[in-house]
Amino acid sequence: MAKGYAESITPESCERTLCASECNSPNSAQLTRPVDTKIGRNPKLSVRKGGPLSRSALASHPTMSLISLFDRRTKESWEDDHLSPAALHAHQSAGRAFHEEKDDLRTCWERDRDRIVHSTAFRRLMHKTQVFVATRSDHNRTRLSHSLEVSQVARSVGSALSLNEPLCEALALAHDIGHPPFGHRGEAALDLLMREHGGFRHNAQVLRVVDRLERRSPDYPGLNLTREVRESLIKHERDADWPAEFAPRPKYPFLEAQVVDLADSTAYDVHDLEDGLRNSMFSEAEVFESCTLWRGAYESVDLRHPGFLSGTRDDKLRVKRLTNELLKISINDLIDTSARRIEEAGLSNQESARQGDRRMIGHSEQLSPEVKELQAFLYERFYHHKELLEFGTRATETIGMLFQALVARPEELPPWYRLWIEKAGLERSVCDYIAGMTDRFAESECLRLTGRS
């Protein structure tokens, strides 16, 4: 920045430069909202009146701005004006188990999202199996990349339906942080080992992670997330396992949680196709023959790029173009069908969506059987492929040896988990510790403790 530039800027000149017409997007509103807006103004964050701002003033007051910030109160007002009545609105949140002052800039669900992103459990997803073991290839999906793709789909669907996008994002990013190493095979192994101690379910483990196992403040255990996020993360729990604090159980989750549920299946349907093809688990010809949805994507791409699919020798580009088109078809159908259901139901608030006659978020009668057909193909040709079944045996043996070794020698646990035994018991503490491991750490610990690879 040239010398004297900051000293030459005044609030008035900034207003002339940045004022623009109002926009329906909260993201763009941050840049276009005029500085004289009165909606939800936070005095601590307002434009300084009475002359130019010096560099020293800006340095000593980091929250001072040349324009009125798009702060929490303004965002909450924006939600009231623009979100669906059936969406969750941040200012109506039931709050947190442990009281905290509200953030000046972020809504409660933006704050939850940020806590999830900065958590250790989220970071470990980078080296946890989605379908293939995380060390097999740099290009296959991991739990982390899957969670990011779910977030993209959820935000696209949620924002189009005028639902709470930050809440959709928080749920999508957190939905898999209860998964142990080695994917669903690791979950099955831990459940078997814990059958006499309450079992293991990754949905329930998500809540243990965010409520008890993560540590970020001396004032409370866990991440102290909002009730809405915590309840939505266990949407697949059985009635018998439904926590008493969330009783009575609603017929359906919040709309934002329903969106993430469908975003999850949409993301893994598409990326498992792509990963399966890349790893030669099945061929394009087999997918074309078995899956109506794939043939529909083929027709759409062929119309848009005549001759490309039959003429290209770039297999990677061809598959990417087809899977992207399949994703687009799925997302557009979700949006169109869900919007029509919400309109027909005449939902007036969040509770009307949770106690209605049907789920509001879903595929059309035309596309739903095509999605099920694709999932049946993946179940038969991918998830039960010989290579993955062999990997499942390896995962079961690794986790079993680890569990037995740590139960027999709890002194090998890290200090925090040794203390955790006093509250959770030996077996559950060992289970919590193993569930948090990455694939490669579980394998290295197994080798260290048992001498077996």
In this model, does residue 306 exceed pLDDT 50? Answer: yes
| Per-position DSSP letters for 157-175, written without gaps between them | HHHHTT--HHHHHHHHHHT
Q: Is residue 326 part of a domain?
A: yes
Q: Given this model, what pLDDT does residue 15 score?
A: 37
Q: Is residue 166 part of a domain?
A: yes
205 and 158 share one domain = yes
* DSSP 8-class letter at 51: S
Q: Given this model, what pLDDT does residue 334 score?
A: 98
Find residue 133's DSSP bridge partners: none
In this model, does residue 342 exceed pLDDT 60? Answer: yes
Query: What are the tokens at 335?
Result: 């949006």
Tell which of 386, 405, 427 closes a domain: 386
Q: Given this model, what pLDDT does residue 58 score?
A: 46
Q: Is residue 304 part of a domain?
A: yes
Convert the pLDDT of each residue in 114-155 to its tens digit.
999 999 999 999 999 887 765 566 778 899 999 999 999 999
127 and 214 share one domain = yes
Tell which of 365, 386, 407 closes a domain: 386
Q: Is residue 253 part of a domain?
A: yes
For the chain, the domain total comes to 2
Convert the pLDDT of each residue in 153-192 to its tens digit.
999 999 999 999 999 999 999 999 999 999 889 999 999 9
Judge contact between 326 and 299, C-beta under 8 A.
no
40 and 123 share one domain = no
Its domain, for residue 283, covers: 108-386
140 and 200 share one domain = yes
Q: Given this model, what pLDDT does residue 131 score?
A: 78
In this model, does residue 213 exceed pLDDT 90? Answer: yes
Tell which of 364, 386, 408 closes a domain: 386
Q: Is residue 34 part of a domain?
A: yes
- Record the pTM: 0.85
Q: Is residue 436 part of a domain?
A: no
113 and 57 share one domain = no
326 and 251 share one domain = yes
187 and 75 share one domain = no
Residue showing tokens 């069908």: 337
53 and 131 share one domain = no
Q: Given this model, what pLDDT does residue 135 score?
A: 57
Q: Given this model, what pLDDT does residue 140 score?
A: 83
In this model, does residue 286 exceed pLDDT 80? Answer: yes
CA-wise closest residue to 360 among 340, 378, 380, 331: 340
Q: Given this model, what pLDDT does residue 236 score?
A: 78
Q: Is residue 51 part of a domain?
A: yes
18 and 119 share one domain = no
CATH number at residue 121: 1.10.3210.10
Q: Given this model, what pLDDT does residue 1 score?
A: 41
Q: Given this model, what pLDDT does residue 201 score?
A: 93
42 and 164 share one domain = no
Query: What are the tokens at 86?
Result: 């059936």
Convert the pLDDT of each residue in 8-46 to its tens digit.
334 343 333 333 333 444 444 343 333 333 334 444 444
Among 74-83, 136-145, 361-370, whose mean pLDDT is lowest?
136-145
299 and 369 share one domain = yes
Q: Is residue 438 part of a domain?
A: no
Judge contact between 331 and 320, C-beta under 8 A.
no
180: preceding bond cis by omega (within 30 degrees): no
316 and 174 share one domain = yes
